[in-house]
Amino acid sequence: MSHNRQKKIAVINDFCGFGRCSIAASLPIISAMKIQCCPLPTAIFSNHTGFDSFYSTDFTEHMTAYMDEWEKLGLRFNGILTGFLGSPEQIGIVEDFLERFKTEETVAVIDPVMGDYGKLYPTYSPELARQMAKLAPYADILTPNLTEACILAGADYRPDLDEAALEKICRILSALGPGKIVVSGLERGDDLENYVYEAGKAPVLIREHKVGPFRSGTGDVFSAVIAGDVVNGQGLESAVRHASAFVARVLRRTVEMGLPKTDGICFEEFLTEL
């Protein structure tokens, strides 16, 4: 019996029960794009860390046994999407996963979740950030924000980096392995830009109007749409345009509904449009 008659994306990220981020965001989006989403949790949270209080449990000790069972089933994945990783040990486990399950037909989208606005997230150590670079050689598509791109490239962070500086950073990152890079969420006044770099092509800037404050899970929604589109045969530029427009539309609706910042973005309102 074959379990591989339908397109599948493995999502390696934390699971958050409330707050619309990580697996809880990517699973319904990928499913709505007619692809089976197969989550591998890195940690389990009652609600994300942007709340004043939360419960969490680390899943590291269970991850290898979990993927052993997938290997027994002979699962093959059209895509692999990685997100939040909680320890250097988990980086090694994800390397193992990519060695086992990534084939020439698999598109690996590595979202190196580490920090924002020039700083590491509180849960990340400089050692963990250095270890994250080990995943770059496996990436077909790397989707850092500007902070993460600067960390991985060893460049000084500045929020106003121009296109020449962005291209230089992307060339450094591409030399690590990925031929395609999206530097996401560049704030330019009232707009947000995504810088799309593909080796051998002229870089492209994709701009959408910024709506409201930063909200948890926006990057998870963005990367899930990109992964789904690419697995469904779209080119990277087309996928980023789709993801950017989708996120902008959802953000506008989220602001209209008056949802608290902690509650993420109301992508459920637009799932049928994917």
Distances (CA, A) of 144 to 34, 102, 119, 204: 26, 21, 13, 16
Q: Within its chain, how far is the Cα of 112 from the centroid? A: 7
* All domains in the chain, ordered by first residue: 8-269 (3.40.1190.20)
Q: Which of 112-126, 176-190, 257-271 has the lowest mean pLDDT?
A: 112-126
Do residues 229 and 243 lie in contact, with contact meaning Cβ atoms separated by under 8 Å? Answer: yes
The pLDDT value recorded for residue 93 is: 97
The share of the chain scoring above pLDDT 70, in percent, equals 100
Does pLDDT of 204 surpass 90? yes
Question: Tell me: the pLDDT tens digits for 23-69?
Answer: 999 999 999 999 999 999 999 999 998 899 999 999 999 999 999 99
Q: What is the mean pLDDT of residues 193-217?
A: 90
Question: Tell me: the pLDDT tens digits for 101-145?
Answer: 999 999 999 999 888 888 888 778 888 888 899 999 999 999 999
DSSP one-letter string for 243-255: HHHHHHHHHHHHH
Does pLDDT of 78 surpass 80? yes
The pLDDT value recorded for residue 101 is: 98
Do residues 231 and 79 lie in contact, with contact meaning Cβ atoms separated by under 8 Å? Answer: yes
Three-state SS annotation for 48-110: CCCCCCCCEEECHHHHHHHHHHHHHCCCCCCEEEECCCCCHHHHHHHHHHHHHHCCCCCEEEE
Mean pLDDT (the chain, rounded): 94
The pLDDT value recorded for residue 188 is: 85
Q: What is the mean pLDDT of residues 10-22?
A: 96
Q: CA–CA separation, 152 vs 156, rounded Å?
A: 11
Does pLDDT of 158 surpass 70? yes
Q: What is the pTM of this model?
A: 0.95
Does pLDDT of 192 surpass 90? no
Q: Given phi > 0 = left and psi -120 to 50 = alpha, else beta, which region is 60?
A: alpha
Do residues 254 and 266 lie in contact, with contact meaning Cβ atoms separated by under 8 Å? Answer: yes
Does pLDDT of 149 surpass 70? yes
Does pLDDT of 70 surpass 70? yes
For residue 18, the cross-strand partners are: 47
Does pLDDT of 170 surpass 80? yes
The pLDDT value recorded for residue 1 is: 63
Do residues 221 and 29 lie in contact, with contact meaning Cβ atoms separated by under 8 Å? Answer: yes
Does pLDDT of 220 surpass 90? yes
Crossing angle of helices 163-175 and 146-153, in 10° steps, is 50
Does pLDDT of 221 surpass 90? yes
The pLDDT confidence band at residue 86, using thresholds 50, 70 and 90, is: confident
Q: What are the tokens at 133?
A: 């670079």
